[in-house]
Amino acid sequence: MTQRFFAIPACDPVAAEAELNQLLTASRVLIVERHCVASGEASFRAVCVRIASGPGPLPQALKADQAGARRVDYREVLRGCE
């Protein structure tokens, strides 16, 4: 697993958002953590993206269902790491 960090400025987010979106569409994303940092004109969103290593799609056990929350079946996840 690798991590990427982004600071997306509140006043001019376009370039940083494009870089983040490119990573999200091209990677096997496991977790995205977001936090707002309020600092007047220098305010920004801090984003941490955790990415699964290795090729191919994510195992079905790591994908969320329609409700957005699914119990992880680690047997299926670990089977995909062999």
The pLDDT assigned to 25 comes to 86
Give residue 16's pLDDT band: very low, low, confident or very high (50, 70, 90): very high
Can you list the alpha helix ranges (DSSP code H) found in 27-62?
none
The pLDDT assigned to 56 comes to 62
The pLDDT assigned to 14 comes to 94
Phi/psi at 48 (5° precision) = -115, 125
Tell me how far apart the alpha carbons of residues 15 and 32 are, in angstroms, rounded to a whole number: 19
Phi/psi at 32 (5° precision) = -125, 120
Strand, helix or coil for residue 11 = coil
How far does Cα 61 stand from its chain's mean position?
A: 17
The pLDDT assigned to 10 comes to 92
pLDDT of 30-80, one tens digit each? 889 999 999 998 999 999 999 887 766 666 656 655 555 666 666 766 665
